[in-house]
């Protein structure tokens, strides 16, 4: 059995859960794909998970209202052990990266971290991941009765939900007492959709000229399209944008339906974070810019003229 831990937020299954389901479907294991949903009041999330898995296990209790690494790792390890899971797939999110090593220790299992690919050959899991600040792509294999894996966001195409819902089962969890309590939080003031969840991403590079140019052109276009905002490392390193917006090898991997690259040259490190986007539109004044090699639509011209014209048209 393959166990996927389905993350969710604001009552919706996260994109990572669909990506985990897709990664799981590529493996040749008996017993199908089981999704585990943990939280409080998660009926609608479990219903969504039932469309991408063969069965859904639901841990729904007030104790699970808030994420906690000790509680989550205990729950996941318990379910994996009881179900004799051979592979446990966890999202490579901040929380997934935090609790997955604890799950691996509890199950006495090897941990494959932040994998970009996963193959199953004769009961051996083969994976690829970046190491040495992403300068090296490492190939690893795990030979063990149970393996814990975290999956890099955006590395797998999200699974398409089926039309028949799988059966759901409530689980009894033996949870440890919480030792950490979140005493408060401050949310970043942005109404924008998260980069890795978005269907449309508008990304800006050095070609937008200045931080003000970025706001006017990239944010302006993203506002019209209801899109997330991304940036190149050059822009992030210059302090124009926060690191959280960086797309690429050392940033986020995105796979939206549409990716609009504004003033981006298309360095290989940037491309590796967005080249699986369904439709790529590039705007660059240099007709030989490498970004045009992977773009579905290219506009050769000055972003300061083209993007305001696009915004004006969209406003109409
Ligand atoms: C180990 C390592 C990891 C890295 N990781 C990442 C990563 O995760 N993400 C990432 O993005 N980069 C990464 N980089 C950096 C990467 O190599 C490039 O330097 C970077 O992507 C370039 O960003 P850019 O396209 O904004 O800038 P540039 O390469 O300077 O390109 C700017 C482009 O804008 C165009 N332009 C200029 N003015 C205009 C205008 N007025 N109108 C239209 N077009 C215009 C130019 O023709 C040019 O093509 C990494 C590098 C290393 C060594």
Confidence of residue 99 (pLDDT cuts 50, 70, 90): very high
pLDDT in tens, 244-264: 999 999 999 999 999 999 999
pLDDT class of 302 with cuts at 50, 70, 90:
very high
What's the pLDDT at 186? 82
CA of 21 relative to ligand 1 center, distance in Å: 33
Distance 305 CA to ligand 1 centre (A): 20
What's the rounded Cα separation, in Å, for the pair 198 and 272? 18
Res 192: pLDDT: 82
**CA of 270 relative to ligand 1 center, distance in Å:** 7
The pLDDT assigned to 196 comes to 87
Does 115 score more than 80 pLDDT? Answer: yes
Distance CA 273, CA 269 (A): 7
Predicted local confidence at residue 217, as pLDDT: 98
Q: CATH 3.40.50.1220 in the chain, residues?
A: 195-315
Could you tell me which of 241, 224, 232 has the C-alpha nearest to residue 309?
Answer: 224
Q: Are strands 124-131 and 117-121 parallel, antiparallel or unpaired?
A: antiparallel
pLDDT of 263-284, one tens digit each?
Answer: 999 999 999 999 999 999 999 9
CATH homologous superfamily of 195-315 equals: TPP-binding domain (3.40.50.1220)
- At residue 312, the pLDDT reads 96
Calculate mean pLDDT across residues 73-77.
98
DSSP assignment of 45-72 equals HHHHHTTTSSEEEEEE-GGGSS--HHHH
The residue whose CA has the least distance to atom 7 of ligand 1 is: 248
Give the mean model confidence (pLDDT) for residues 46-59.
98
Ligand 1 atom with least separation from CA of 247? 9
CA 265 to CA 263: how far, in whole Å?
7
Cβ atoms 55, 166 nearer than 8 A: yes
Instruction: Give me the count of residues in the chain.
Output: 316
Mean pLDDT of the chain: 95
What is the mean predicted confidence (pLDDT) over 71-95?
97
As to burial, measured by CB atoms within 10 angstroms (0-12 exposed, 13-18 middle, 19+ buried), residue 191 is: exposed
Are 36 and 57 within 8 A, CB to CB?
yes
CATH 3.40.50.620 domain residues, the chain: 2-170
Separation between Cα atoms, residue 124 and residue 241, nearest integer Å: 42
Question: What value does the mean pLDDT take over residues 181-194?
Answer: 81
Instruction: Provide, rounded to the nearest whole percent, the portion of the chain with pLDDT above 90.
Output: 90
Does residue 33 contact residue 51 with C-beta atoms inside 8 Å? no
Q: Cβ distance 255 to 271 under 8 Å?
A: no
Percentage of the chain lying above the pLDDT 70 cut: 98
Q: How far is the CA of 240 from the centre of ligand 1 (A)?
A: 13
**Section 126-134 average pLDDT:** 84
- pLDDT value of residue 185: 86
Supply the angle between the helices 69-82 and 94-107 in degrees, to the nearest 10.
50
Task: Give the up-direction half-sphere exposure of residue 64: CA atoms within 13 A in the CB hemisphere.
Answer: 23
CATH (one of 3.30.160.110, 3.40.50.620, 3.10.129.10, 2.60.40.10) for 2-170 = 3.40.50.620
How far from each other are the two terminal CA atoms of the chain, in whole angstroms? 53
Query: Measuring from atom 11 of ligand 1, which residue has the nearest CA?
Result: 232
CA dihedral sign, ordered 82, 86, 90, 96: positive
What does the pLDDT average to over 306-314? 97
Q: Which residues have any ligand 1 atom within 6 Å of their CB? A: 134-135, 205-207, 232-235, 246-251, 263-265, 267, 269-270, 273, 284-286, 289, 302-304
Residue 203 contacts residue 219 (beta carbons within 8 Å): no
pLDDT band at 197 (very low <50, low <70, confident <90, very high): confident
pLDDT at 189 (0 to 100): 67
DSSP state of 145: S
- Over range 155-181, report the average pLDDT: 96
Residue 133 — very low, low, confident or very high, per pLDDT cuts 50/70/90? Answer: low
pLDDT at 236 over 70: yes
185 and 66 in contact (C-beta within 8 Å)? no
User: Could you tell me the distance, in angstroms and rounded to a whole number, from the CA of residue 291 to the centre of ligand 1?
Assistant: 10
Atom 50 in ligand 1: residue holding the nearest Cα: 269
Report, as an integer, the average pLDDT of 28-40: 95
Q: What is the rounded distance in angstroms from the CA atom of residue 136 to the CA atom of residue 3? A: 29
Rounded distance between C-alpha atoms, residue 155 and residue 140, angstroms? 16
Rounded to two decimals, the pTM is: 0.76
């Amino acid at each position: 059995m393959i166990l996927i831990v389905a993350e969710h937020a604001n009552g919706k299954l996260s994109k990572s859960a669909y990506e985990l389901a897709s990664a799981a479907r590529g493996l040749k294991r008996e017993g199908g794909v089981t999704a585990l949903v943990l939280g409080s009041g998660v009926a609608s999330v479990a219903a969504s998970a039932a469309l991408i898995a063969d069965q859904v296990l639901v841990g729904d209790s007030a104790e699970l209202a808030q994420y906690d690494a000790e509680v989550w790792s205990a729950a996941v390890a318990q379910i994996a052990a009881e179900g004799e899971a051979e592979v446990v797939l966890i999202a490579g999110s901040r929380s997934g990266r935090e609790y997955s090593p604890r799950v691996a220790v509890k199950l006495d299992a090897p941990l494959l971290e932040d994998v970009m690919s996963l193959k199953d050959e004769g009961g051996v899991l083969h994976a690829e991941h970046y190491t040495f600040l992403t300068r090296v792509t490492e190939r690893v294999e795990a030979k063990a009765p149970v393996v814990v894996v975290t999956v890099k966001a955006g590395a797998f195409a999200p699974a398409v939900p089926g039309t028949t819902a799988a059966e759901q089962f409530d689980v009894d969890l033996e949870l440890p007492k919480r030792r950490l309590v979140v005493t408060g939080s401050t949310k970043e003031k942005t109404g924008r959709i998260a980069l890795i969840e978005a269907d449309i991403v508008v990304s800006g590079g050095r070609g937008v000229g200045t931080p003000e140019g970025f706001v006017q052109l990239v944010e302006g276009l993203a506002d019209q399209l209801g899109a997330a905002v991304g940036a190149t490392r050059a822009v992030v390193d210059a302090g124009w944008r926060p690191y959280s917006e960086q797309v690429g090898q050392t940033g986020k991997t995105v796979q939206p339906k549409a990716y609009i690259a504004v003033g981006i040259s298309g360095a290989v490190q940037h491309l590796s974070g967005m080249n699986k986007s369904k439709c790529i539109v590039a705007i660059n004044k240099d007709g030989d810019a490498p970004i045009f090699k992977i773009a579905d639509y290219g506009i050769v011209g000055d972003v300061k003229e083209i993007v305001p014209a696009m915004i004006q048209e969209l406003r109409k």
